[in-house]
Structure 1
């Protein structure tokens, strides 16, 4: 088989080399001529897979995307051509949740507030939104969920109204890109909605850039009327509105889900799907290729408070690193994509085992850390 793979899908050579001839391509630049002989096509979210891309190919059997989102895939076209399709739902939910947690810990310290004093509205309660909710809830943060499609589908969790979302102290967006239907998300936060937010609120977007009208946001920011902003995704990526950058507290180039562990999980899910499609037994797992983290064990001797939580979080991932680097490279030619392509290895909290008391292990596990029971030492007393 000819297996065509986006060059930025990690460990693809390790997983797929036994199954055919591998051809690697640039996800932004790939064209129909390049894919004429593909039997299998593996992409990321930056590649639009549609009739235009596949019009010259007459032999494609399987398409996979190493992402949770599928709005870049024309699934109806694939179905009409009897081409099997698979995505990687939930592969980077942990990574995105940890990005949000790192961002909020940074903002809490900088603006001198306690997270437990804030109400957080999570817009989109799927895999990623749920992962965010679980971590913030474990810290004692008051969270509300907004997701009308899930609510109508019978999800038994408690959901809030959109008016309650707009009244929350912090709003975190985790919805897919939906253009049509009863609940479209493109420009869900348009000028009229954005005008209802205040400078004391925080708005985070680590979902899709089109959810927020970036031009309307820029206009309000220039008037000093925008909330505190954390933006990982932008309209018109990679050619984003750079005039917006000075008004964004934390800015990154669509890397919230870019932990090594999350990305390899996506590769592994595609590998499993292809093996199932080919009716072959799986030979490999991510553990066969991914090395332990450089820092993988630590002991703590005090109760977890915001300061200690921030230290533990940022021992693994500090979003300020990515923000600073992004502001340096964004003006370079292809700076947005270059940073994504050369992104410094980032691990997830689960790669750090924390030795602590049994009372704290549950909290640590809910936050995503691995845990190990710390043995108590006997105290020596002089007689």
Structure 2
């Protein structure tokens, strides 16, 4: 039997060990995967930086494409379907990681601006795998949560529709904070390309804040610059950008927090992504999965977090706990370092953006840590609500 030939983006964690159980794996940088590299390849494994379409696959023997991402806007799904090429994504793999990123962003903002989150309303646009988890964690932080998801709203029937939790976008725009969790689509009744164009941005509540961890082009970046410059919005937090990795350096200087498309970069999320596309490939090949991810899970050196007893403010106390697992300000600082100085060019900035993603040290998710606080302390319930264990919990250490 001829051995299956597989080309994989070298930045997919553990892809070599997982897919070596299925065939011969050749690792490549995602941006270097070309049609010529696929002339004798049966299976292709990519991330979001590789455009998978007719230009890449025509004339190749590729019959399975797996993307270790939740989104598929880099796949020409119509072409793949027409060519009878099976494809699979890792939908939901990093949903919890993105929701934890949002927690870090909200707490950073609350501390910097001395805000009480319980007094604020957050609007969530897109309530799928990610948005639904954001809703739970935002509610745990005390925010009033508003939801917008037209496709899901249309699927409701009868009594469900009468009690729908979903609001039209114009109503959601009056929230104090808006966070985006939609796929990027260019057509249909729910197209999201430039969903937040200048018109929509200016209909947002004056002084509100926008967070985008979905796809860069869901927001018109040029329009966002305009509404930030004239202070219609008080701030923006961006993890995704138009034209990555050559992002808009002027926009970066205007936003409150800027990160290089790493909101979903937890170890657990990346491991789940590889596991999901591996299992999809096994189903395609009608083979029983053989790869076991367990030996690759690293030990956490300091799973117990001791909070400073002198920090009494609720937001600061919660922020301290989150910063032990993920310091969002550090990611912001690192990205800006590549955009300082008069000698930096767009090309060098793009390389810096890619380098930060390539060299990123995957953070561990909240449920790996136990916070040493009194169980009846007000912060304890919130910490549990966003995913931490609390000293004395039955599941502690489990």
TM-score normalised by structure 2 residue count: 0.88
Corresponding position of 2:236: 229
Match of 2:251 in 1: 244
> Is the contact made by 1:197 and 1:227 (CA closer than 8 Å) also made in structure 2?
no
Determine if contact 2:45/2:66 at 8 Å carries over to the other structure: yes
Select which of 299, 314, 319 maps to 1:305. 314
Equivalent in the alignment of 2:12: 9
Q: 1:329 touches 1:339 (CA, 8 Å); kept in 2? A: no
Structure 2 equivalent of residue 74 of structure 1? 76
Aligned ranges 1:1-383 → 2 under 5 Å:
1-57=4-60, 59-154=61-156, 156=160, 157-197=164-204, 200-298=207-305, 305-330=314-339, 331=344, 332-333=348-349, 334-354=351-371, 363-370=382-389, 373=392
Distance 1:35 1:114, change over 3 A: same
Deviation per residue, 1:201-246 (Å, 9 max, x gap): 1100000111111111122333343331101111111111111111
TM-fit CA distance, 1:136: 1.1
**After alignment, is 13-22 or 228-237 more displaced?**
13-22
Distance in 1 (CA, whole Å) between partners of 2:187 and 2:362 is 37
What displacement does 1:370 show?
A: 3.9
Distance 2:270 2:15 in 1: 11
Q: 2:307, 2:320 within 8 Å by CA — same for their partners in 1?
A: no
* Cα pair 2:375 2:390 within 8 Å, conserved: no
Q: 1:355 to 1:280 in 2, by over 3 A?
A: farther
| Residue pair 2:321, 2:371 contacting (<8 A) in 1 also | no
1:158, CA displacement in angstroms? 0.6
Structure 1 residues 109, 372: CA separation in 2 closer, same or farther (over 3 Å shift)? closer
Distance 1:285 1:371 in 2: 30
8 Å Cα contact 2:238-2:259 kept in structure 1: yes
Unaligned segments of structure 2, at least 5 residues: none
Q: Does structure 2 retain, via aligned residues, the 8 Å contact 1:229–1:248? A: yes
Distance 1:64 1:117, change over 3 A: same
In 1, the alpha carbon distance for the partners of 2:393 and 2:387 equals: 18
Show structure 1 runs of 5+ residues with no match. 376-383
CA distance in 1, matches of 2:390, 2:71: 31
| Deviation by residue 1:94-131 (Cα, 9 ceiling, x = unmatched) | 11111111011001001101111100000100010001
Secondary structure of 1:204's partner? strand
The answer to whether the 8 Å contact 1:351/1:369 transfers is: yes
Shift of the alpha carbon at 1:45?
A: 1.1
Distance apart, 1:149 and its partner CA: 0.8
C-alpha displacement at 1:191, in angstroms?
Answer: 1.1
| Structure 2: distance between partners of 1:74 and 1:95 | 26
Q: Residue 295 of structure 1: CA displacement?
A: 2.2
| SS of 1:18 mapped into structure 2 | coil
Aligned length: 374
Secondary structure of the residue aligned to 2:20 is helix
